[in-house]
A and B are shown apart, each in its own frame.
Chain A
Amino acid sequence: MKWRHWLLLPLMLALAAGLGYTVLSLPDQAHGLQGAVADQLGKSGVSNPVTAVLLNFRGYDTLLEMVVLTLALLGVWSLGAQPAVHAESIPGPVLDMLTRLLVPILIMVAAYLLWAGAHAPGGAFQAGAVLGAAGVLLLLTGWRLPPRGAGYPLRVALVVGVVAFLAVAALPLPGGRHLLEYNPTYAGVLILIIEAFATVSIGVTLAVLFFGADPADKEPR
């Protein structure tokens, strides 16, 4: 078994050397798209160029990426129940207190990141991740979704980001315009709406992925 690994090592070094040579062969000056982005930034509705690329210029990628996240959740849920984490992880008073303190702060941080994304570093994914972290903390302290919320309401919260994105994407089509084409006057508002719904969905999805299985899943394990 081991000799195969030794055989692999020179191959990997050759691969690294080849790729390294390729990287060094690139010119010293980048000629990317920063100029094109800067030219159109005024029409994008936001002033943070990364957000402009993510939600406007290449918004279609981001739409599909939201579907990727939903798909991961569908995949994990379709595997059925997972073993529950053992009782030893029941939190002590410290974690409990920390959670009470942290969760409201995290939610406020998420809201700030969402709002700031238009002009400064931040945006839906960072905000959603922070929201997800708040959810993970709650789950760690033993909080569970009440059964009434576990079915339909949870599923709606999970997909509301994709649905809002799809709706905004398809909106210009009946008028004969392009997919995801925003009117520059409303672009900022539309982006904020998409991001707000996306943040909720991303946060809930990440927290639910941490939980492991569909809380409404009654299948015996």
Chain B
Amino acid sequence: MSVPFLYALVGIGLFCLGFYALIVHNHLLRKILAINVMGSGVFLVLVALARRGGETPPDPVPHAMVITGIVVAVSATALALGLMLKVKAATGRAALPDQSRD
């Protein structure tokens, strides 16, 4: 298997791993980490596949998209962390209350 496909598959793996962790874990910090891992997976797919076909200069468009994506990810993470602290302050736990019991 060529290197671009190898990394693209790793990206898919990260996406699925993060998705699974996002559902399974209760702690909000862990959910935020999971979202970030998922995002890294998507970025990896985006850039790795641009390398298909060898040593020619790589396609800069996905590179620019990923830089945009990284900034979006850090913005979302900052808001999520701030919200998590407020949830902890309001409920005493950094986890979402079980909806079925509400």
**Bound together:** yes
Q: A8-B24, A65-B71, A68-B72 are in contact. Are A16 and B61 (CB under 8 A)?
A: no
Q: A30-B51, A69-B75 are in contact. Are A19 and B59 (CB under 8 A)?
A: no
- Given the complex, which residues of A lie within 8 Å of B70, measured CB to CB? 125
Q: A29-B52, A75-B82, A125-B67 are in contact. Are A15 and B16 (CB under 8 A)?
A: yes
B50→A15 contact, CB < 8 A: no
Instruction: Output the residue of B13, B56, B61 with the most chain A CB within 10 A.
Output: B61
Of A23, A30, A53, A209, which one neighbours B9 at CB under 8 angstroms? A23
A28→B53 contact, CB < 8 A: yes
Residue B64 lies at the interface, judged by CB distance under 8 Å to chain A: yes
Q: Which of A13-40 contact B (CB under 8 A)?
A: 13, 15-16, 19-20, 23-24, 26-30, 32-34, 37-38
Q: How far is the CA of A49 from the CA of B61 in the complex (A)?
A: 8
- Given the complex, which residues of B lie within 8 Å of A15, measured CB to CB? 16, 19
Which size bracket describes the interface of A in this complex? 35 or more
B16→A61 contact, CB < 8 A: no
Residue A101 lies at the interface, judged by CB distance under 8 Å to chain B: no
A16→B13 contact, CB < 8 A: yes
How many whole Å from A116's CB to the nearest CB in chain B?
15
Chain A binding surface SS class: helix
A23→B8 contact, CB < 8 A: yes
- Given the complex, which residues of A lie within 8 Å of B86, measured CB to CB? 79-80, 82
Residue A172 lies at the interface, judged by CB distance under 8 Å to chain B: no
Q: Which of A100-130 contact B (CB under 8 A)?
A: 123, 125
Instruction: Output the residue of A5, A23, A24, A26 with the most chain B CB within 10 A.
Output: A23
List chain B positions with a Cβ less than 8 A from chain A.
2, 4-5, 8-9, 12-13, 15-16, 19-20, 23-24, 45, 49-53, 56-65, 67-68, 70-72, 74-76, 78-79, 82-83, 85-86, 89
Task: List 27 contacting pairs A-B, 8 Å CB cutoff, sorted by A.
Answer: A5-B24, A9-B20, A12-B19, A12-B20, A16-B12, A16-B16, A19-B12, A19-B15, A19-B16, A23-B45, A24-B5, A24-B9, A26-B49, A30-B4, A30-B59, A32-B61, A32-B62, A34-B61, A54-B68, A57-B61, A68-B71, A68-B75, A72-B74, A73-B78, A80-B86, A82-B86, A83-B89
Given A33-B61, A54-B64, A71-B75; 7 other pairs, CB 8 A cutoff: A27-B52, A30-B50, A57-B61, A68-B75, A72-B78, A82-B82, A82-B86
